[in-house]
Structure formats: C-alpha cells, structure tokens
Amino acid sequence: MGNSTEPRVVVIGGGTGMPVLLRGLKDLPIHLSAIVTVADDGGSSGRLRTELAIPAPGDIRNVVAALSDAEPMLLDLFQHRFAEGNGLSGHSMGNLLLAAMASMTGDFYRGIKEISRVLNVRGEIYPIANHSMNLHAEMEDGTVVTGESQIPKQNKKIKRVYVSPTPVQPLPEAVHAIKSADLIIISPGSLYTSILPNIIIPEIGEALRETKADVTYICNVMTQEGETSEYTAADHLQALFDHIGNDVIQSVVVHNQPIEQKYKKAYARENAEPVIYDIDRIKSMGIKVIEEDIIDHSQPMLRHDTSKLAQLLHSML
C-alpha cells in the first residue's frame, strides 16, 4: 500500500459480501480503497446513528476488521458484541469506538482514519458520505418504504431505491478515488440495500462514468428474499442499469458452477436460491462476462472464495 506506482483498485459496497472480497485483495501489491455505505438503520448501527447523530458505523466496522493487520485479540475486541447491559446489549465494540471517535473529532471520516491507523488497516476506507443518509424504496405496487433494514422485510418487488437528503454529498475523497482508479469493483452484497445506496448518489454515478478504469460487478451467488428473489445474473445487472444507466459497468464476474446441495438446503430456509447465470442475456446487454468457480467449497455457508476472487481481479489489471 502507499506505493504510488501500484495499480489503484476501488471496491464499492457494504454488508457482508464486501469484507470477504477485501480480505483477499488486501495482501495484493495494489493500492486498495474501499468505499462503504452508511445508510444502515438497523441494529447497533441504527441505534447509534439515531442517538448520536452519526453515519451508520456497522458496514465500516466490518471493512476495518477485514483490512486490519492488528493482532487477533484486538480484532476480537473490535468485533465484540455486548450480549447484556441496559442500552449496551447488541452494540459492538467497533461501532462504539467509531461513534466515540466521531463524537470526539466531530468528523466521522476522521474518526475512521484514526481507528484505521490504530488497527493497522491496509488501504483506504471511505464512507460514501460523511453524514447520515436515508434509504427509501419505491415498490412495484407503488408503496414507498423508508429505512435500509425495513426494505427487505416487506417482501415486495422493489422498483427503485433512492436516498435522502437530496442531493447526498458524497465524501470528496471517495469521488477522487473513483476518478483516479485503475480498476473499480462493485462488490457482491445486498443489491438494493448495500450496493445501490452508494452508486445511486449522482456525483458517484458521474465519477464512475468519467473514470478511465474498467468497472466490474461481482454478481451475488444466491438470491436474497425481499430484494432479489428469482433474479438471474442479468436481472441483477438490469437493476443496476435501471438506476445508473447502461454505460457504467463494463464486465460482470459470475459463478459458473452448480451450487452444492448442502448450501441449497441451508439457504432454502431463507428462501434464497442460486442465481442463474444467464450468460447469453448478459452478453446481449453489451457486458463482458467473466465466469469462474468463485465460491469457497470448504465453508459451511456459501461464501465467495476470497483468494480465487482476488487472483481473478488482479489478472484483470
């Protein structure tokens, strides 16, 4: 990191997919930047943003943990979640540290930088915005739902998502990172609630259009109830196109192997199914398809294989 001749790779996302991807990328000889959503309003993050008037820290916390080279005990502490305590229960230590740092400095992004320094984080972490933002979804039936955590719970087909206040001012450093990147990766993760809240911000969309870097989307392997039920890979892409136009993304990475029965069973409980990789339709959309076996077959839950993905992405530079 920090070597100015290293290729500049930007990952945009949030949720649980992003840290998996970043763990693989962090040891490559690249200048890595992570641009992370702050639109969460559920759980510990949601309580902190409401009570302390800070952007939601949870997605950032998981990215800090993924990119940190700190000793395991310290990371365990950072990720520790209080199980008891009036008002403490459910809060994770890392969220509290980010919140305290934001309160102390009056600047959420500066707080992230300080925590990143202390935890020996490799690469740069940028919150998509340095202030709170809200996510709204307009459903196919015309109803509007507010709140990232509420949207998938409706179990309705989502027409579009948008953020407020309008216009959201993205972090200037995030915009700059996109414009000066050599490769931009749209992370796997909840399509409407972790990925789109970043890229639908107008200035971020413009930067993605302006950058000379290729933009590649790593498609989810499983559908997600209340967001992408029955979505094929092309449907994921189409949802992105519907929000940001069809001139932003150049390629998509899809998993091209059948999903093993053990995973299907586990995910059936969440009404999640393998995403069908309808390659011909993607190609007809003018998008390059990069297909590979990209899951980690040794994990009890379905996870991208962080090393395989990292090597694949590195080969694209």
User: Do 127 and 109 touch, CB atoms closer than 8 A?
Assistant: yes
Contact stretch for a second copy (CB under 8 A) within 35-43, 93-101, 180-188, 267-275: 93-101
One residue of 27, 77, 271, 307 binding a second copy per CB under 8 A = 77
Minimum distance from residue 69 beta carbon to a second copy (Å): 14
Per DSSP, the three-state class of 92 is strand
Burial 154-178 (b: 16+ CB within 10 A, else e): eeeebeebbbeeeebebbebbbebb
Minimum distance from residue 278 beta carbon to a second copy (Å): 46
Contact stretch for a second copy (CB under 8 A) within 21-29, 45-53, 131-139, 230-238: 45-53
Per DSSP, the three-state class of 220 is coil
Contact stretch for a second copy (CB under 8 A) within 61-69, 99-107, 208-216, 230-238: 99-107
**Tokens describing residue 302:** 């379905």
Of 113 and 122, nearer to a second copy (C-beta) is 113
Q: What angle do CA 98, 103, 109 make, to 5 degrees?
A: 55
One residue of 8, 26, 31, 91 binding a second copy per CB under 8 A = 91
Question: Please, what is the angle between helix 17-25 and helix 306-315, to 10°?
Answer: 60
Minimum distance from residue 55 beta carbon to a second copy (Å): 15
Minimum distance from residue 91 beta carbon to a second copy (Å): 8
Candidates 100, 63, 105, 97; CA nearest to 78 is 97
| 143 lies in the binding site for a second copy (CB under 8 A) | no
What is the chain's percent helix, strand, coil content, to nearest 5? 40, 20, 40
Of 82 and 241, nearer to a second copy (C-beta) is 82
Query: Which residues of this protein are in contact with a second copy, per CB under 8 A?
Result: 47-48, 51-52, 73-74, 76-77, 80, 82-88, 91, 93, 96-97, 99-101, 103-104, 114, 118
